[in-house]
Amino acid sequence: MKDHIKKEIIKVLKEIYNLSDAEDIVEIQKTSNKHVSSDYFTNISMKLAKTLGEKPNQIAETIVASIDSDKNYKVWVAKPGYINFTLNQSVKNNIVPEILKSTNLLTSVETKNVKNIIVEFVSANPTGPLHVGHGRGAIYGNIISKYLEIQGHKVHKEYYVNDFGNQINKLVISVFSKIDKSIAQGYSELYEGNYINDISDKIQEFIKNKGWSITIKSILENNEHSKKLEACRKIIVNSILENIRDSLGKLGIVFDDWFSESMLFEGNLVDKTIARLKETGKTIKKDGALMFNDDEPRVLIKSNGEYTYFASDLAYHDKKMREFDRVINIWGADHHGYVNRVCKGLESLGHDIDKLDIHLIQFANLYRGKEKVSMSTRKGEFVKLDTLLQEIGIDAINYFYLMRSKDQHLDFDLEVAVSSNKNNPVYYIQYAHARIEKILSQVPNYEEFEFDHKNLKNKQEGDLVDQLANFSDICKKSIINLKPQIMTNYLYDLSQLFHGYYASERIIKDEINYSQVYLLAAIQKVVKCGLETINIQAPKEM
RNA sequence: GCGCCUGUAGCUCAGUUGGAUAGAGCAUUAGCUUCCGAAGCUAAAGGUCAGAAGUUCAAAUCUUCUCAGGCGCUCCA
């Protein structure tokens, strides 16, 4: 209908004003103002006022006078020159059967340009269980991947495992020092927490089973035992990774690959990447270290010969850039200072930086009522993601982490998230779905009756129909632009309209208006579809 | 000091490509059950869109500056 109106306007403009570029300047917009009872409007007369030297109102009247009359809508002018189009309600009502007939409500977001995309997210260091600080990135990365899949792209979800370097050594020391306290000497800020104790038990059992009759200290310090140390290191890292994988699995997050940093070194990829970087002349030697010469020199190889995180990260990204059409990283906002460095490095390696998309996620604060929940990672006193899941459930986790733009700091109130009332948007939306289910179950034969577009007349029905008609646009905005919060907001608004309607209009009555039942069925279908796209269940009863 | 994000009602936040009188929820106040789930609904009240200047017929939205908050600027990862 929008396109039809646009064509009509263009036609008129060409006739009256002989405008050759009418196609480019005519815009038909959806009316969002609540005080104006129109569905679409155009601002074309304001745009033309200057060049034509006429008042916008006058131009609008002239255009309207030339528009062929159409049964489907009314055209009218409003100051200072808006041309409004009010669609006939019963024509709009046809969205209801259209939705019900559709086998896939999301076809409008499908792409013709299918790409091979890697989404890397979470990638928390394997030095402890996931805590609530990891939650937002995990849920966000998962939905971004899903959104890209809905669009038809080939998506590869990857977790980058930093199992190389200092923090892993520190982890090993932390575990070993539980067996022999003297090992901790000389180290500060070792990892603490029950999980460290659990793993040290595991190591002790492993050593016992192997029948090794050597001290834990000698495994660590004696070079003869380097293979034994390596075996222990693997057990430690793997048991943490298992825990992480398990936590993510409970959240419905499954990765296609867990790519390990040490693989980069085993395959000499880091050296190869650095060698290529050297060829570009962008590296310098300074104070015995090899540096990438960006705005500021950035260390690749330390003066003691160790590689920095930056070095292996460049190798990793180099690999991703070669293997995929589009590379997406989900990082915490605290990494933003690092973005430029990686981009510059990749550019020097000859990559098209437009292929790389780094999503920085702002931090989320958890509250229990007014009290802020501490996220301190010191001494293991953090709230684990598992604990959060147990407390509020998977649906609330998804919704609350997705309800705000990634650029927005997020305040997440646990008391609201566990409440079973209208204060909790998740319950409110799910309740709408369940309420409709209850009604539909009482008229199981409704499909034997015809939908009549003339039988939805009141204001609330009109508002609901408009909101249903918006769904396709909302999907585009949310799914194509990768903005889940647009979906959560839409579903909340739709539920609100529904609950108001439900309270004022009785559906099951002596003479049932089956068109109303169809309307509810369409609402339910849209709610369900919307919830599914953001990984939330649509319960039939609750 | 430099960089990124944010600033809209008492609180938490929507606000589409710049459009008409600024939108919800919470909290507050006043109401609504012989009836499909009150796990709900209706209404009132609440605004210097951080501030200033600019662009425009039109600015919460774009530009510049100022102020405030969060985060980052290691031979850390």
Q: What mean pLDDT do residues A231-244 have?
A: 96
Nearest Cα residue to A497 out of A466, A460, A528: A460
- Would you call A118 helix, strand, or coil by DSSP? strand
Task: Calculate the angstrom distance between C1' of B42 and CA of A435.
Answer: 20
Task: Calculate the angstrom distance between C1' of B52 and CA of A407.
Answer: 26
> String of b and e for A53-81 (b: at least 16 CB within 10 Å)?
ebebbebbebbbeebeeeeebebebeeeb
A302 strand B contact, CB < 7 Å: yes
What CA–CA distance (Å, rounded) separates A91 from A84?
Answer: 17
- Evaluated on CA atoms A427, A432, A435, A441, the torsion sign reads negative
A463 strand B contact, CB < 7 Å: no
* Identity of the residue numbered A527: V
Q: Please give the pLDDT value at position A437.
A: 96
pLDDT in tens, A477-513: 999 999 999 999 999 999 999 999 999 999 999 889 9
Nucleotide nearest to A490 (CA to C1'): B14
HSE at residue A101, side-chain half, CA atoms within 13 A, is 6
A272 pLDDT higher than 80: yes
A376 confidence band (pLDDT: 50, 70, 90): low
Q: Please give the pLDDT value at position A79.
A: 83
Q: Which domains does chain A have, with CATH numbers?
A: 2-87 (3.30.1360.70), 95-111+421-533 (1.10.730.10), 116-162+249-361 (3.40.50.620), 166-240 (no CATH)
| Residue A383 DSSP one-character state | P
C-alpha R_g of chain A = 30
CA A541 from centre of chain: 27
What CA–CA distance (Å, rounded) separates A305 from A287?
Answer: 12
The pLDDT mean for chain A works out to 92
Task: Calculate the angstrom distance between C1' of B46 and CA of A161.
Answer: 51
ipTM of the complex model = 0.94
Q: Please give the pLDDT value at position A375.
A: 58
Q: What mean pLDDT do residues A157-169 have?
A: 92
List the beta bridge partners of residue A289: A286
Task: Calculate the angstrom distance between C1' of B52 and CA of A248.
Answer: 49
Q: What mean pLDDT do residues A232-260 have?
A: 96
Contact present, A164 and A262 (Cβ < 8 Å): yes
- Kindly report the backbone phi and psi dihedral angles of residue A201, in degrees, each rounded to the nearest multiple of 5, phi listed first: -60, -40
Q: Please give the pLDDT value at position A97.
A: 96
A77 strand B contact, CB < 7 Å: no
List the nucleotides on chain B closer than 7 A to a protein CB. Answer: 3-6, 12-17, 19-21, 23-27, 35-42, 57-58, 69-77
- B35 nearest neighbour residue (CA to C1'): A506
Please report, rounded to a whole number, the percentage of residues in chain A having pLDDT higher than 90: 74
Q: What is the residue whose two structure tokens read 């001290």?
A: A215
Task: Calculate the angstrom distance between C1' of B64 and CA of A23.
Answer: 34
List the beta bridge partners of residue A131: A384
Nearest Cα residue to A98 out of A534, A525, A538: A525
Task: Calculate the angstrom distance between C1' of B73 and CA of A360.
Answer: 16
Contact present, A184 and A177 (Cβ < 8 Å): yes
Q: What mean pLDDT do residues A376-403 have?
A: 83
Nearest Cα residue to A259 out of A161, A331, A163: A161
A384 pLDDT higher than 60: yes
pLDDT in tens, A101-136: 999 999 999 999 999 999 999 999 999 999 888 999
Q: Pick out residues 239-268 of chain A having their CB under 7 A from any atom of nucleic acid strand B.
A: none
Written as six digits, the tokens of A106 are 């999301």
Q: Please give the pLDDT value at position A378.
A: 46
What CA–CA distance (Å, rounded) separates A479 from A473?
Answer: 10
